[in-house]
Amino acid sequence: MAIEVSKLNLDCRKCTKEQKKWRGCEGGAKQPYVIDGEESEFCPVKLINVMTYKYLDMYHYYKQGWLPFGGTILTQPAKLLDLFKIIEKELNRGNK
């Protein structure tokens, strides 16, 4: 879901009061969002936690050749490498 939400280019810092009301920042969206086949009356940005966004940022740096932690690919946390594989799979799924 985080991949789909990131493609919407929504940025809470740039939303006007009217956009926040329309998008459902506090609930009751005027036009509910459908993400992964599920409808939500909240802005989809509110459904993604901060760590998920951080992992997506790390992934983008990783794809540019920068490792999040010092050392080589072999010294990166296994959990992080697993997350990168999941992100890659989801991105590829969306491109088909």
| pLDDT tens-place string over residues 39-80 | 888 888 887 888 988 998 999 999 999 999 999 999 999 999
Domain definitions of the chain by residue range: 1-48, 49-96
pLDDT tens for residues 17-38?
888 888 888 778 887 788 778 8
Query: pTM of the prediction?
Result: 0.66
Q: Which amino acid is at 69?
A: F
* Size (the chain), residues: 96
Cβ pair 58, 69 in contact under 8 A = no
Q: How far apart are CA 71 and CA 30, in angstroms?
A: 48
Instruction: Tell me which residue has tokens 């991949």.
Output: 3
Q: Other C-beta atoms within 10 Å of 62: how many? A: 19
Cβ pair 45, 12 in contact under 8 A = yes
Copy the structure tokens of residue 17: 């009061």
pLDDT of 96 over the 70 cut: no
